[in-house]
């Protein structure tokens, strides 16, 4: 598990690019000043394999648009049934790979949960074995002392009634103790069988993760585009190909809306308009705001 788990962690943080290699395509500049009227968008095609309903996508787009509207202090991006920019979710091998990565993370979590359970079982067994060994050693010492005392009285021709009764009580106590020790030994052996079954299940989970990791590493070896904004002779459009979580989808949409406003890439990894989806929130950074002010002539 050591090798694949390491590969899994490395693969999981490669979330892909927002844009790369001409993903932001603009053939001709618009004659209308940017942001003088709201940029309108509408829902395009949504592949059902994403598991995202139109209602959910509409909410995501509102959240992404709000990022820029709030920064601009006015509505510069708005939904319209016949909006100029259709937004689509197109399923291909990129999203399939993203979903595989999520499945690996889920399987990895299941493996780690089972591993922790097995570790607890093993620790409990080891603790009980130590207690059993200590009890057995104590029993053997007590039995040796009893045997020695019986032998001593036998050499003297027998024990007096009072001593004989004491020895009988000791013998019965030793028999009960031996029964308890033997019963615990049976339970410990059963516990070993249970642990072995749990280990087999753990190994099956590990193999399941490893198989998926191998597939993931074959198809996820290169960076890929998560989304594209294209404006050409056929019009403007936004297409998203890959995301892992709702939060990441909102960031991709907000990023592409930035391109639709005429904003190019920035240099800060924390910026929303950085070429790679490396940030963790929707907060616009100084470079984003500066680029928005220039694009929309807000200053």
pLDDT, tens digit (0-9, with 9 covering 90-100), for 104-130: 777 788 888 888 998 999 999 999 999
Whole-number Å distance between alpha carbons of 272 and 282: 7
24 strand-pairing partners: 229
pLDDT above 70: percentage of residues in the chain = 78
Alpha helices in 73-92 (DSSP H): none
177 vs 45, which has greater pLDDT?
Answer: 177
Contacts with 102 (C-beta within 8 Å, 6 or more apart), sequence order: 244
Contacts with 77 (C-beta within 8 Å, 6 or more apart), sequence order: 38, 39, 40, 41, 65, 68, 69, 257, 260, 261
Residue 68 has pLDDT above 90, yes or no: yes
Residue 229 has pLDDT above 70, yes or no: yes
Query: Angle formed by the axes of helices 54-72 and 286-296, to 10°?
Result: 80
Asked if residues 279 and 251 have their Cβ atoms less than 8 Å apart, the reply is yes
Q: How confident is the model at residue 199, as a pLDDT? A: 87
pLDDT band at 101 (very low <50, low <70, confident <90, very high): low
Which residue spans within the chain are E strands per DSSP?
Answer: 24-26, 39-46, 77-79, 85-89, 227-232, 235-240
Q: Which of 166, 116, 118, 125 is nearest to 146 (CA)?
A: 166
Q: How confident is the model at residue 83, as a pLDDT? A: 94
pLDDT band at 93 (very low <50, low <70, confident <90, very high): low
């Amino acid at each position: 598990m050591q090798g694949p788990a390491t590969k899994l962690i490395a693969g999981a943080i490669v979330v892909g690019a927002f844009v790369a290699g001409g993903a932001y395509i603009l053939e001709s500049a618009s004659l209308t000043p940017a942001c003088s009227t709201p940029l309108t968008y509408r829902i395009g095609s949504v592949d059902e394999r994403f598991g995202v309903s139109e209602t959910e996508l509409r909410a995501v787009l509102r959240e992404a648009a709000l990022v820029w509207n709030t920064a601009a202090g006015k509505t510069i991006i708005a939904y319209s049934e016949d909006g100029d920019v259709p937004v689509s979710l197109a399923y291909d091998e990129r999203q399939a790979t993203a979903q595989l990565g999520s499945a690996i993370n889920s399987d990895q979590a299941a493996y780690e949960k089972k591993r922790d359970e097995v570790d607890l079982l093993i620790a409990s067994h080891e603790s009980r074995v130590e207690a059993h060994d200590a009890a057995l050693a104590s029993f053997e010492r007590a039995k040796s002392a009893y045997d020695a005392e019986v032998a001593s009285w036998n050499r003297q021709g027998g024990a007096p009634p009072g001593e004989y009764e004491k020895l009988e009580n000791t013998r019965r106590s030793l028999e009960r103790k031996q029964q308890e020790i033997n019963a615990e030994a049976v339970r410990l052996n059963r516990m070993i069988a249970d642990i072995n079954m749990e280990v087999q299940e753990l190994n099956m989970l590990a193999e399941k993760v490893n198989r998926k990791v191998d597939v993931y590493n074959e198809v996820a070896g290169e960076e890929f585009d998560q989304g594209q904004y294209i404006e050409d002779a056929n019009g403007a459009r936004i297409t998203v190909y890959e995301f892992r979580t709702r939060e990441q989808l909102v960031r991709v949409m907000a990023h592409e809306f930035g391109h639709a406003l005429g904003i190019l890439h920035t240099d800060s990894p924390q910026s929303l308009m950085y070429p790679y989806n490396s940030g963790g929130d929707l907060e616009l950074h100084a470079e984003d705001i500066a680029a928005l002010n220039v694009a929309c002539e807000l200053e």
